Structure 1
Amino acid sequence: CARRIGELKKESSRSTWDPRREREIYERLLADNGEKFPEKAVKSIFHEIITACRLAQKNVEVAFLGPEATFTHLAGVKFFGQTAEYKAQESIDEVFREVEKGRVAYGIVPVENSIEGAVFSTLDSFMKYRVKICGELRLPIRHNLVCQSGDIKDIQTVASHYQPLAQCREWLRKHMADVPTLEVFSTAGAARMAANNPNIGAIASELSVKTYNVQVAVSGIEDYQGNTTRFLVIGRQSPMPSGSDKTSLLLGMADRPGALNEALTVLSAKGINLAKIESRPIKGKQWKYLFFIDLVGHIEEPAIKEGCSILQQICAHYEWLGSYPKAESSEAVGEHV
């Protein structure tokens, strides 16, 4: 049945992913459920069924920052389900390149953390590659100190990606002040190093513990509760409106006083809610910046369309990065975190 639906969609040039239709299905399921089963459990079960049916219509390959068992890998599984084909990449830049070249349908990348802020390598990649944002999700992050033996006394070096090292900075200063840290390209890579060296500890997920056969020395070493990372799904084409969307833009301002204020005034005049603004320097151009802006709404909505049309006229640089369904509130990721 799912394959036949996929054939019909292909014949009519429709996308296999219809976020509005999926949202309607979830709403109906929750309404029919009442309070018989926990809401999160119902969503989790039917999310896997829906993604499996979508993948039966068309196989999906997803690039992520590898190796296996990184938080980005986990985010991909949460979004696309277990049955998608995941392609590990050595850097965020390579995830973007794989999507732009069409070697995979989608990529998933971290874009900001609630404690440490923006992931600059992701923002900079949007300035280099022509891709579209297709979706977002938020995951609460729980960091664990792991090693071969599970004994913190054996650890002589702590390895991890720079973001987890920063998110656990105070804990490390208090409990392991004399132990040096080593920045590596991923949490899973750090866990793999810990599996091969009895004196290396890693800050990694519990999924890494299972994947690389290491032991937890100390769990939950993040400095702040509520530590959450936002991930973006990138592809070649943004989805249709879901009824609850965001639009992301990349803007460059004209070199004159009040240019940024003028752009923001356009959004205010149209009643458009600004969800985020972040600046990044333009490589090779001193003191020149581009602004990443998230708006609440879809590009097909009249107010957003009109506002973006004006921005295109008054900004020195304008790029629509995509419109996509807003993430729901952070979901607990249970034993996989």
Structure 2
Amino acid sequence: MIDETEKQQLNEIREEIDQIDAEIQALISRRADCAQKVADIKTKGGQVEAVFYRPEREAQVLRAVKARNKSLIPDDEMARLFREIMSVCLALEQPIKVAYLGPEGSFTHAGVIKQFGSSVHPLAVSSIEEVFEIVEKGDANYGLVPVENSTEGVVKQTQNELVTTPLKISGEVGLEIHHCLLSQQSSLEGIEKIVAHPQALGQCEQWLKNNAPRIALEPVESNALAAQMAQQDASLGAIASEAAAQLYSLNVLETHIEDRKDNTTKFWVIGSEATEPSGEDKTAMVLAMPNKAGSLLDVLSSFATRNISMTRIVSIPSTETKWDYLFFIDVDGHQKDANLAEAIQEVQQKTSFCKILGSFPVSPLN
């Protein structure tokens, strides 16, 4: 039972909260006014090609939010609050349309919201190849595509498209992937087939062997599509997210069925504009080199001798020449940094093919 003194204290705190809320709302309104002024300046004189989304600027703002945070709220949570404020303000300047592998409820859809905030306009398409096509045609401002999973490795469709696309990588976001088994059924007994994206089937391989060894497996275009299929067919189970279960009114039979609990997928933002330096960046490139002893080592030495750290290297077979390989390499730094620019120039002289895929900010959102 709360006594009168405690009741008075609570009322005073609540009045203070109301006052703080009013101040926060007024400050957000001021920020929105500034965003509108930015839009007015950028569109002055009828400019229709003005660029409103600046990944390097957003990364700098979010890093500053985390650096000055001294509150009880964890740094990442504080950054997510500001991510939403920035998303609303950006929508006032220009609604941003982002293509992704759908349908709604896929992990890529979740990645879009994490990277751009809830005020973005997601555009679901049926394949990774179509994401590139939609952005290249200008029917979406950006696309978000999965690049690599910590369990299953590279996403081949994305890697193949990056070799030929004129688009540039302008951002990166990581997403923890926790798979659930969904169905109209209340248990595994009534399920005749489990459907999921091939990567998800691979990420849950051991769990499926141990818990559903006699149930047929079928790969489909996306996990969200698998959930849609399970919504329409009671004999199916789907591997997808808890969000998909709510979206498609399915029962969650099991959660966290991925074999590795640190299961994470990296996504890249693709768009037509190059990204300026943010102060903490990565650069991605794809290379091919003469098939002779030491050629890869020779290329990598261009980075090593300049103390440029390589964060990723992946090889895939070339589609042009049998037994030749393409190497996807990520390094620290922006291609406009003098040190890295010098290294890239040297690498171009040592390779038969060198394409810079883009420089982009290291994500401040964990």
TM-score (norm 2): 0.86
Is 1:171–2:207 an aligned residue pair?
Answer: yes
77, 86, 93: which one pairs with 2:122?
A: 86
On the 8 A contact 2:62/2:364 being kept in 1, the answer is no
Is 1:66–2:99 an aligned residue pair?
Answer: no
Aligned to 1:335: none
Write the distance in 2 (CA, Å) between the matches of 1:118 and 1:282.
15
Change over 3 Å in CA distance of 1:19–1:233 after alignment to 2: closer
* SS of residue paired to 1:278: strand
Aligned to 2:39: 6
Which letter does structure 2 place at the counterpart of 1:191? A
Write the distance in 1 (CA, Å) between the matches of 2:223 and 2:248.
11
Alignment of 1:275-294 (within 5 A): 275-294=311-330
User: What do residues 73-101 of structure 1 show as CA deviations (whole Å, max 9, x unaligned)?
Assistant: 11001111112111111110111111122
Aligned to 2:135: 99
Which letter does structure 2 place at the counterpart of 1:9? K
On the 8 A contact 1:98/1:104 being kept in 2, the answer is yes
Which letter does structure 1 place at the counterpart of 2:38? I
Is 1:75–2:108 an aligned residue pair?
Answer: no
Aligned to 1:305: 341
Is 1:321–2:354 an aligned residue pair?
Answer: no
On the 8 A contact 2:55/2:171 being kept in 1, the answer is no
Is 1:53–2:57 an aligned residue pair?
Answer: no
231, 240, 251: which one pairs with 1:215?
A: 251
Write the distance in 1 (CA, Å) between the matches of 2:321 and 2:63.
49
Write the distance in 2 (CA, Å) between the matches of 1:185 and 1:70.
11
Which letter does structure 1 place at the counterpart of 2:42? K
1:40 Cα deviation (Å)?
A: 2.6
On the 8 A contact 1:277/1:292 being kept in 2, the answer is yes
1:315 Cα deviation (Å)?
A: 1.0
Aligned to 1:120: 156
Change over 3 Å in CA distance of 1:30–1:269 after alignment to 2: closer
Aligned to 2:216: 180
Which letter does structure 1 place at the counterpart of 2:93? Q
Farther-moved stretch of structure 1 (30-39 vs 127-136): 30-39
On the 8 A contact 1:137/1:232 being kept in 2, the answer is yes
1:15 Cα deviation (Å)?
A: 3.7
* SS of residue paired to 1:138: strand
Change over 3 Å in CA distance of 1:236–1:114 after alignment to 2: same
Work out which structure has the larger RCO, using CA pairs closer than 8 Å and 6 or more positions apart in sequence: 1
Which letter does structure 1 place at the counterpart of 2:40? E
* SS of residue paired to 2:182: strand
What residue ranges of structure 1 are gaps of 5+ in the alignment? Answer: 331-337
Write the distance in 1 (CA, Å) between the matches of 2:54 and 2:231.
42
Is 1:243–2:279 an aligned residue pair?
Answer: yes
* SS of residue paired to 1:242: coil
Which letter does structure 2 place at the counterpart of 1:309? Q
Which letter does structure 1 place at the counterpart of 2:106? T
Aligned to 1:333: none
Farther-moved stretch of structure 1 (156-165 vs 30-39): 30-39
Counting aligned pairs with the same residue, the percent is 36
On the 8 A contact 2:100/2:145 being kept in 1, the answer is yes
User: What do residues 11-49 of structure 1 show as CA deviations (whole Å, max 9, x unaligned)?
Assistant: 598742344443443344345541232323211111011
Write the distance in 2 (CA, Å) between the matches of 1:112 and 1:225.
16
Aligned to 1:266: 302
Change over 3 Å in CA distance of 1:258–1:32 after alignment to 2: closer
Aligned to 2:238: 202
1:254 Cα deviation (Å)?
A: 2.1
1:224 Cα deviation (Å)?
A: 1.1
Farther-moved stretch of structure 1 (66-75 vs 28-37): 28-37
Aligned Cα root-mean-square deviation (Å): 1.7
Bigger Rg, which one: 2
Figure out how many residues of one structure are paired with residues of the other and give that number: 330
Is 1:229–2:262 an aligned residue pair?
Answer: no
Alignment of 1:125-140 (within 5 A): 125-140=161-176
* SS of residue paired to 2:52: coil
Write the distance in 2 (CA, Å) between the matches of 1:28 and 1:230.
23
Alignment of 1:146-161 (within 5 A): 146-161=182-197
On the 8 A contact 1:150/1:214 being kept in 2, the answer is no
